Structure 1
Amino acid sequence: MISHLSWRTVTAMLFIACSIVACSKNDNKNEIIDPGETSTTVKTGIYKVVNLVADTNATSAGNAVELYYNLEENKVVPASLKQTNKWDIVFYGIYNSSVYPNNGAAVGSPGYGGPGTARIYVVTDRQFDAQYYDVTNFKPISLPIPRELWNTAFNAVKTVPVTDEKMVVRDAGLDHFQNNFDGWGYYDFYGSLFPGDPKKTHVVYALPRVIIVKTVKGHYAKVIIENIYKDNPENPNRDNKPGYVTFRYAIQMDGSKNLDIQ
């Protein structure tokens, strides 16, 4: 098990149509980044975004308002630019739970038909998953999942594990939800993990899995989503407010696939 992270974590609070506070381990102070036209390229490093305001009115009844993110500039991009190469990933769908790359061939993505060339890949390790997950029936063994597993999973990915051709343009979503693919989170639609507790229905639990992203500019990053509920609760229920995405990512800006970034 990898010990406590050595990098400096800084909270980044963002409000759509306002501003984002973003900071990396390479910075000595917070940097205010305008989500509009301002362009500030990040350095190779690890970044954390906490309580990123997505769609706070999101419910399980329909798709949330999409949220576009530029990893190379560590900022939200206005929806008016969805048909451009100004963003890398979008948080989309129910509870903003589908993460699409900005790729013009990504059917179902707001970037479909646009100039984007980003790709993604969900890293899965069945032996690692078995610590917290039933890898046959695709559901958590118990909750809450130990928090240290997010650090372990994130640090274990030291390079891009696949060729670009094996990265995909579809979304990284909820794990095997409606016969879907390996995903970043588990959706307990009926509350089957906590029978008889109505506050545990329609709850999304993040899983400690890394998403590899090739950005629209051709750089590689690893992203791990920690929560979609406000203040990152360890064991969320219906009392917790969705629409607040917490994630961290490491990005390599030298053009290589080296993701062993400290």
Structure 2
Amino acid sequence: MTFRIIYCLAVTVMLCSSCGKVYDLNGFDWEADVPPSDSVFNREIQILDLGANLPAGHQPLDDEDPMFFSLERFSSVGIGYRSTERWDISFSGMFRSTISGNNGTRSGFGYGTSAVGGIVVLDAAFDEVTQIPDDSQFQYPGQTGLDDQGALGAPLGHVVYTFFGNFLRPDKMKDSENPDPAVQAEVNKYQHMMYCLSQDMVKTFKDVHPLRPRTVIIKTAKGNYAKMETQSMYQGILDPMKMRRDKDIKMPVYSFRYVVVKAEERRFGFMINRPKLTVKL
């Protein structure tokens, strides 16, 4: 009897000491799922430098591992939550150029959960998109990556890849045959570039190469809708003319903007009634 009482007391102490925390069999510390604030809806949100300074537990395990993001909470999501409905989009693949939705009924990172997310990519500028496409146009979980405007990729990707040259920067490629090592080092900074097909990027290079802007429409894991424009994959740089590969510039590091609306609203036009929010991660 005495042993039984002591054992019960010990169990009680351990339970009290871990009050407020829930752990799975692998020791993962699960946090309570708090509903997003209504303040996220009907406003433009700009995220700067996702991936540059991810919190502990949010970093991908290797170059092929995804990073996760919640549009409704405008924050990165820990990799331990990959099989949950807490994230809306993932970034994976080569240079993490592939953006995927979160859907629990289809093969993907969120398989087996209650997530209902999907993606459709529009051949349209972010500011021009006011309506949500019909559900029949969405792919589940859906994805978007390289665009065929760069000579390789899908018909509607969100980013172009320049390969060994740079068809958008002939001013830099004109010296590609120069044997001077210093000149070649400068040329190399502008090869194998990834440019997001934002409104500003397309406008910047309109006299060099004709491109079309892309807007990604996302059905979130909870069933709301967002329109999203990727802007940069280079840390601290939004100006396409300043983008380059350099040892002091982290890549891939995402900057993008988006607007979230509730499912029942079914449109983006005339609904942005809160001030813009910029979040530097």
Coarse TM-score class (shorter-chain normalised)? 0.5 to 0.7
Structure 1, residues 11-44: CA drift from partner, whole Å, max 9, x if none?
xxxxxxxxxxxxxxxxxxxxxxxx9646333233
Do structure 1's residue 155 and structure 2's residue 127 form an aligned pair? yes
Structure 1, residues 29-80: CA drift from partner, whole Å, max 9, x if none?
xxxxxx9646333233211111122599xxxxx9444111111121111111
Q: Name the structure with the higher strand share.
A: 1
Asked whether the 8 Å contact 2:103–2:114 carries over to 1, the reply is yes
Larger Rg: 2
| Equivalence for 1:214 | 219
2:48 to 47, 50, 57: 50
Distance in structure 1 (CA, Å) of the matches to 2:120 and 2:90: 14
In structure 2, relative to structure 1, the CA distance for the partners of 1:37 and 1:54 (3 Å cut) is farther
Asked whether the 8 Å contact 1:51–1:244 carries over to 2, the reply is yes
Q: How does 1:129-208 map to 2 (within 5 A)?
A: 153-160=125-132, 162-169=133-140, 170-176=142-148, 178-193=152-167, 194=170, 195=173, 196=176, 197-208=187-198
| Equivalence for 1:86 | 86
Distance in structure 2 (CA, Å) of the matches to 1:201 and 1:120: 30
**Alignment RMSD:** 2.5
TM normalised by structure 2 equals: 0.62
Structure 1, residues 84-110: CA drift from partner, whole Å, max 9, x if none?
111111111122211100023554x32
Distance in structure 1 (CA, Å) of the matches to 2:223 and 2:50: 25
Distance in structure 1 (CA, Å) of the matches to 2:64 and 2:97: 9
Distance in structure 2 (CA, Å) of the matches to 1:246 and 1:36: 27
Q: 5+ residue gaps in structure 1?
A: 1-34, 57-61, 126-152
1:247 to 256, 269, 274: 256
The alignment partner of 2:47 has SS state of strand
Instruction: Tell me the percent identity.
Output: 27
1:237 to 233, 241, 244: 244
TM normalised by structure 1 equals: 0.66
Matched letter for residue 181 of structure 1: P
Asked whether the 8 Å contact 1:55–1:64 carries over to 2, the reply is no
Asked whether the 8 Å contact 2:69–2:77 carries over to 1, the reply is yes
| Equivalence for 1:11 | none
The alignment partner of 1:200 has SS state of coil
| Equivalence for 1:16 | none
Q: Name the structure with the higher helix share.
A: 2
